[in-house]
Amino acid sequence: MEERYIASADLGTSKISVCVARIENQDVQVIYYKESPSDGIRNSYVFNPRKVEAQLRKAITEAQQDLRIKVQKVIVGLPRYYVRQETASAGFDRNEEDSQIQESEIRLLKSNALESYPLSDNKKEVIYGAVAQSFSTEDSFNEVESDIVGMTAARLDGHFKVFVGERRYSSNIDNVFSSMGIGIARKYFVPGITAKAVLKDEQMENGVALFDLGAGVSSVTIFKNKILRFYAAIPFGGNSITNDIKSQCNISTELAENIKKAYGACMPNKLSSFGEKIIQINDEDTPAIQISVKYLSEIITARMKEIVEALLYEIQMSGYADEDQLRAGVVVTGGGAELVNCANYIRELSGYSVKTATSRRFFSCEGCPEAMDSSAATTMGMILAAKNDKSLNCTSFPVTKSPVSTVGAQPQRPSRTASAPSAPAAKETPATSPAPDPQGGSTAPAATAEESPAVTGSVQRPEEKEEKKADAEFIVPKVRVEQTREEETSVSIEPSVAAAQDNGQDEDEGPSVFDPYTEKEIKDAGQKKGKASRAARPDRPRITWLKHISEKATEGLERLFNDMEE
């Protein structure tokens, strides 16, 4: 079968993730995944399309240059906040009551329920998606979709969970990609999509609450009998923790974020020797700042308690708080799940069994291990959801480059796309280093999985067989794509949730990525790279712990040679 390529863009509050995957039959191979800082996004929704476009253009241009492709369309997620859930029902009398119920009748019932649902304001609201909860006939009640198909009945009724969001935030996403000349193939309501990547079939069957701890939004999604039963979100997340560290330690936002990722932990009294470490921030212009890891953990734990208790309150309001309803407990994903002791702290507050989840091995990601991180779960969920559409191909040229790691790598060739702006120079930040312990111990924390969240790398997991498709899937309302502003106000269902669309715009003008470089372009690129490197060296802050490690390594080698001579 001919291979296809799916490109996704996850527009997060703190980061933009661009991913490209190769699809061949049911095999999914991630060939590119990279995260970059976002701008113009607040609580997962686009509030400034121009700022988002500037950041996203850089990210997609880098992917195109690295893979030597042209991205024509992408799949993207809808906002997670400012979403409310409602219930909708529909039914009809069947013409032939002795005939078996067909899937086409189920689709008709779903369509009728969505089209007849009364929105408060069609100009301001739009249906992001819906999930079938149960179906009934004159003889059976509360049947799932997989069981109702094939039954016989004179009447068929269906009940659905409808998720309603702000039309403006959806149209802002359209605005961003339209300005870039890239079409939107799909828009996904991501809570159910994330579950496809991280939850097991038996967890959704027995009842589970999925905590997605993002930067600007934290959410809880409850599954029971393989059906999404409840969703709620709060406007607090990792950015709230970063702002607390910034204000309490009197440091910059960027530095606070880096410290959180490297040393962030919950439960300060359970950190053992790691909590005694001191983080020393050296800056040439200001006196050194020292922050204990234990104090840092106290700041993080205070905010995490607020977030977790708010999510537990939502579980209580859902009616699924009883342990018999959530036999699989809580599964935590998202960037916040990477904090040390995060799962243990949620277990202590809730009493549920708690597990930290990453994307399951329904795909290969050799060269892109970051695709397995908790923060990439939404991106991989969208890829897995879109792979079954055999007509979907997001690139215009075949990918000829073998998969390689792209994290921290600079593009090997200068931009040749006329619309691609050059990336600004990276801003230097003060170095963070563990200061010498008062007892004269080592200045570097022990590199163990329990102590330091800064340790990165891929963990080999056994291959898992792809599970059967869940009974409840997001409804794909079939409506026509808006053509004019007047028509847009009359459509109440998000059209891009349903089917692929192409905005019909031509590709960016300028040389093709396959054109050979001229001698002048090669020479200019080399000079530019040399100047940037020389300009960056004088401003580099001192990193004291590197010198310490170097001295310790030298002493160790000398002792080793002396022992060999003896």
Model pLDDT for residues 493-524, shown as the tens digit of each residue: 665 444 433 333 333 333 333 344 455 555 56
Question: The tokens of 427 are what?
Answer: 């801003």
State the total domains in the chain: 2
Question: Both 89 and 150 in a single domain?
Answer: yes
Name the pTM for this structure. Answer: 0.71
- Residues 172-200, mean pLDDT to the nearest whole number: 93
Q: With respect to residue 435, please indicate whether it lies within any of the assigned structural domains.
A: no
| Alpha-carbon 254 to chain mean position | 20
Model confidence at 414, in pLDDT bands (50, 70, 90)?
A: very low
Q: Which amino acid is at 541?
A: P
Give domain status of residue 516, yes or no: no
Amino acid 494: pLDDT? 67
The whole-angstrom distance between residue 294's C-alpha and the CA centroid of its chain comes to 29
Tokens of 143: 């049947």
Q: How many whole angstroms separate alpha carbon 247 and alpha carbon 441?
A: 30
Q: Residues 181, 186, 191, CA angle at the centre, nearest 5°?
A: 130
Instruction: Write down the pLDDT at residue 523.
Output: 59
Residue 509 lies in a domain: no
The region of weakest confidence among 128-142, 372-386, 435-449 is 435-449
Q: What is the residue range of 546's domain?
A: 521-565
CB 488 within 8 A of CB 176: no
Structural domain includes residue 109: yes
Q: What percent of the chain has pLDDT over 90?
A: 53
User: 168 in a domain, yes or no?
Assistant: no
pLDDT of residue 519: 57
Which of 82, 79, 77 has the alpha carbon at shortest distance from 187? 77
For residue 82, give the H/E element and its range.
none
pLDDT at 553: 54
Residue closest to 38 by CA, chosen among 27, 54, 24, 26: 54
Assess whether 87 and 153 both reside in one domain.
Answer: yes
pLDDT for 396 equals 79
Residue 28 bridge partners (DSSP): 23
Residues 6 or more apart whose CB falls under 8 angstroms from that of 401 comprise 31, 66, 67, 68
Dihedral angle sign, alpha carbons of residues 538, 540, 544, 545: negative
Q: Are 349 and 309 in contact (CB under 8 A)?
A: yes
Going along 267-393, which residue ranges are E strands?
A: 278-282, 289-292, 330-333, 354-356
What single-letter amino acid sits at 229? R
Give me the CATH number covering residue 135. Answer: 3.30.1490.110
Task: Say if residues 228 and 130 touch (Cβ distance below 8 Å).
Answer: no
pLDDT at 475 over 60: no
Q: How far apart are CA 466 and CA 361, in angstroms?
A: 8
Which residue is listed with tokens 């163990």?
448
Establish if 192 belongs to a structural domain.
no
The answer as to whether 68 is a domain residue is no
